[in-house]
Structure 1
Amino acid sequence: MASAVQTVCGQAYGAKQYAAMGIICQRAMILHLGAAIILTAIYWFAGPILIAIGQSESIAEQGQIFARSLILQIYAFALLCPMQRFLQAQNIVNPLAYMSVGIFLLHILLSWLVVDVFKFGLLGAGLTLSFSWWLLVITTGLYILLSPNCKETWTGFSWKAFTGIWPYFKLTIASAVMLCLEIWYSQGLVLISGLLPNPTLSLDSISICMNYLNWDICFMLGLSTAASVRVSNELGAGHPKVAKFSVFIVNGNSILISAIFSAIILIFRIGLSNLFTSDPEIIDAVSNLTPLLAMSVFLNGIQPILSGVAIGSGWQSIVAYVNLTAYYVIGLPIGCVLGFKTSLGVAGIWWGMLTGVFLQTVTLIILTARTNWDAEVIKAADRVKTSANEAIVDLVDAV
């Protein structure tokens, strides 16, 4: 949902409609808190849901404990994500990085104390995560309220945030569907691997590989955010050629970086597994998945960046359909057939994921290559005007 903030705030910043940005951020918080209430019920009943989709009682029991401990985190996300996108749209990145690093180091210490010293297990780990995210909310909020860098874009809390919600809500839903389809796809395949004949080995091996992939994705998401902000700013400012050039630059850099990451995974396929386990059977299973993991990492040098371009341009609804088709109509069935009807097992499930990501990447490449950037500038101007709405226009005039 927060990617809608990247789109509208980024384009508003490029168009120099600074006063509109704070209202857009508040509007996003309102919608996010509403979504958090709905998600709370899902987290609370995570155990029965896991059992309903075929997971064992032991996995469901532990999953429910961890999910319930993360409920506070949902509300932290609801506030933090819009605030972060609000700052990123203004190219305010370093303060966010400093706050994240500081709280991350504190989180490591707290996790060690809660899990290893006081032995609170999954419950303690989840509550520690929630606490750390709320620290981020508080520090980021204070920065927005007190920093002179935000004096033009944050003009205080306003009831105007409750006006003009519907046009923004539609973009928010498209953003949520687009990204949720991506996230649920990989997480769903992990759940499906728990239904294989040897669920413990399958889950252990695919979870380790997903950790590698998540590390890579975290890095690439930074480049994706940079692409999104740059493209949205330039479209809002009416610079189509600069926006197009930015797409080439960030993709070239990310492809080179992902090629290096893929090589590291292939070269150190055994050593990296030892970071997670000493079980030779699991290490062997992870080693067998490493070539597929390397291919996934390479594709991550393209797909997240193009998704960032899509967010910066406001193509979320189009990409949502692309993700639905590539992942769920094609990739997921292929993964299930290869995983359960052949001897490939967990590797077959990963092949399905890889197929979906490949098809999505190819589609996004075609979509981006055929983009008329002059037309996108006009669309961006209309989007900012619609999102700002009459209430925002009044506020800008008042300022």
Structure 2
Amino acid sequence: MESNFDELHQPILTHDHPPPPELNSSLEEMLSNTQLPLLKRLLSATWIELNLLFPLATPAILVYLINNSMSTVTRAFAGHLGNLQLAAANLGNSGIQLFASGLMLGMGSAVETLCGQAYGANKYEMLGIYMQRATIVLTITAIPLTIVYIFCKPILLLIGESEPLASSAATYVYGLIPQIFAYAVNFPIQKFLQAQSIVRPSTYISVATLVLHVLLSWVAVFKLGLGLIGSSLVLSFCWWVIVVAQFVYIVKSRKCERTWNGFSVEAFYKLWDFVKLSSASAVMLCLEIWYFQVLVLITGLLDNPELALDSVAVCMTIAGLLLQIGVGFNAAASVRVSNELGSGNPKAAAFSVVIVNMVSFIIAVIEAIVVLALRHVISYVFTEGETVANAVSDLCPYLAVTLILNGIQPVLSGVAVGCGWQAIVAYINVGCYYGVGVPVGCVLGFKFNLGVKGIWSGMIGGTVLQTLILLWITFRTDWIKEVNTAKKRLDKWEN
């Protein structure tokens, strides 16, 4: 990385619990201490960074896994109602809910940049204002999304779904309308807490809510006979439980007393500027979330697609589950980089990027090795069919490559969020994913008759290209310049 840092900066701030004594000196000071031998300096800095990284990443991974599991549990209960209900819940989740959650999470990541850098710069009072601004913008965004939910049946019919399936999916989706507004509040709250490295309370709340969710789903579906609408309403209710519990924590906890000063009229200032920043974030994240959904849609266009769709569905389920680890490191990378930039610590920001990428990559390689070792039996977790198992086994090498990429790409996206590069990454995603990956995949899959392997190969190629570009941008980054950019950004957004 192109960096020349001679100044010493203030130490980074503490997290949920005070760090061990050896962490009391800042990472920037350790990296700048030329009196120590280089190897000892790097080893000590790595120890400091790991002790800051894992308390952030581990709870974040658990939160994303648990929140993802709530949707899975809801669909599992729907499956007990019948095959049509299961298909309807899956369609409502993949076709409608995923669109809304991706958009809202993407827009919410704008506050991640601002809160993380403001916290590092000791501008604590601005975190609460940024959170409120994000909530206002996301709540307004939820209104047109609600209209999409209301008219989802004709939309599904328009894209060729059958009348019974579209009707059942619409019933399921109607119960998810309150969830949209829960997203609008939850994602800013989540980023507000993560920026301060307060992550454990969200984990405890999510675990408790998951237990409640299973219990209420059982009551709604089996005892009260509320069917699809009951299962989705329970999911919406539980998301609101998470929102309320987290907000109560913010108001009552002493850890947030510097960053939450109550509701403020300043939250309504500069909303249009926030909309523009949020839009870039939304485009960046949505293009990533939707990318491999396109793989499933294109696979459905193959001749006799049933077996291909079944095997791809199993692989995408595994990839989606393990992706939550990458997403957890994405959040940790964003917090670490934004905090250090806000604190004026360019060396520490650059070093954090290196360490979090190395750790996430090593874990991703281990995941890929395990998947390849279990390639002949892994599908039996989802289905008993031997034909599907053989098809999944054939696709596992592609899944393994995807898992390795998922260990790098989300982390680089987290670095981009921490630095405020959302607009740049959005353009890169459009070009690499949809200008290269999808067309090449279609050519390989249909023109060269490689089927789902060809489609997946093309899309892997798009991800590789995007990852290489992000690596190059990150490697060439002038971190002193990024510190100055963060300072200007905070000065612009303050009040």
TM-score under structure 2 length normalisation: 0.75
CA contact (8 A) 1:7 1:228 kept: yes
Matched with 2:325 is 219
Using the TM superposition, give the Cα deviation of residue 132 of structure 1 relative to its aligned residue in structure 2, in angstroms.
1.7
Using the TM superposition, give the Cα deviation of residue 143 of structure 1 relative to its aligned residue in structure 2, in angstroms.
0.7
1:65 matched to 2:171: yes
The CA deviation string for residues 297-322 of structure 1, in whole angstroms up to 9 with x for no partner, is: 00111100000000000000000000
Q: CA separation in 2, counterparts of 1:79 and 1:11?
A: 21
SS of residue in 2 equivalent to 1:17: coil
Matched with 2:251 is 145
Pick the structure with greater CA Rg.
2
1:238 matched to 2:340: no
Deviates more, 1:100-109 or 1:72-81: 100-109
CA contact (8 A) 1:55 1:194 kept: no
Matched with 1:94 is 200
Matched with 2:303 is 197
1:83 matched to 2:189: yes
Using the TM superposition, give the Cα deviation of residue 68 of structure 1 relative to its aligned residue in structure 2, in angstroms.
2.6
Using the TM superposition, give the Cα deviation of residue 122 of structure 1 relative to its aligned residue in structure 2, in angstroms.
4.1
Letter in 2 for 1:379: T
Q: CA separation in 2, counterparts of 1:160 and 1:203?
A: 50
Using the TM superposition, give the Cα deviation of residue 58 of structure 1 relative to its aligned residue in structure 2, in angstroms.
5.4
Matched with 2:34 is none
Deviates more, 1:34-43 or 1:190-199: 190-199
Deviates more, 1:193-202 or 1:370-379: 193-202
Distance 1:269 1:61, change over 3 A: farther
Using the TM superposition, give the Cα deviation of residue 115 of structure 1 relative to its aligned residue in structure 2, in angstroms.
4.6
Using the TM superposition, give the Cα deviation of residue 38 of structure 1 relative to its aligned residue in structure 2, in angstroms.
1.3
Letter in 2 for 1:376: E
Number of residue equivalences: 389
Matched with 1:31 is 137
1:274 matched to 2:380: yes
TM-score under structure 1 length normalisation: 0.92
Q: How does 1:98-247 map to 2 (within 5 A)?
A: 98-115=204-221, 122-247=228-353
Q: State the identity as a percent.
A: 51
Q: CA separation in 2, counterparts of 1:192 and 1:173?
A: 27
Q: CA separation in 2, counterparts of 1:79 and 1:278?
A: 41
Which ranges of structure 1 fall in alignment gaps of 5 or more residues? Answer: 393-399
Letter in 2 for 1:146: K
SS of residue in 2 equivalent to 1:241: helix
Deviates more, 1:266-275 or 1:19-28: 266-275
From 10, 15, 18, the equivalent of 2:124 is 18
Using the TM superposition, give the Cα deviation of residue 380 of structure 1 relative to its aligned residue in structure 2, in angstroms.
0.3
Q: CA separation in 1, counterparts of 2:395 and 2:224?
A: 36
Q: CA separation in 2, counterparts of 1:290 and 1:120?
A: 39
The CA deviation string for residues 32-65 of structure 1, in whole angstroms up to 9 with x for no partner, is: 0111111112222233323433445555444433
CA contact (8 A) 2:377 2:389 kept: no
Matched with 1:8 is 114
1:362 matched to 2:468: yes
CA contact (8 A) 1:168 1:387 kept: no
From 298, 303, 312, the equivalent of 2:418 is 312
Deviates more, 1:326-335 or 1:120-129: 120-129
Which ranges of structure 2 fall in alignment gaps of 5 or more residues? Answer: 1-106
CA contact (8 A) 1:12 1:21 kept: yes
